[in-house]
Amino acid sequence: MDGYPRQLEQAKWLIESRSHHGKDVKLVIVLEVPRDEILERLRVRGRVDNTPEAIDKRLSIYRGEIYPMLNYLNDNGVPIIPYERRWNCRASS
Averages of pLDDT over each 10 residues, the chain, 93 residues: 87 87 86 90 89 94 95 96 75 50
- DSSP, collapsed to helix, strand or coil, labels residue 28 as strand
In sequence order, what are the residues at sequence separation of 6 or more whose Cβ sits closer than 8 angstroms to the Cβ of residue 82?
Answer: 29, 30, 32
Q: pTM value?
A: 0.78
CA 37 vs CA 9, 33, 34, 42, 43: distances in Å: 29, 7, 5, 9, 10
The CA distance from 84 to 86, in Å, is 7
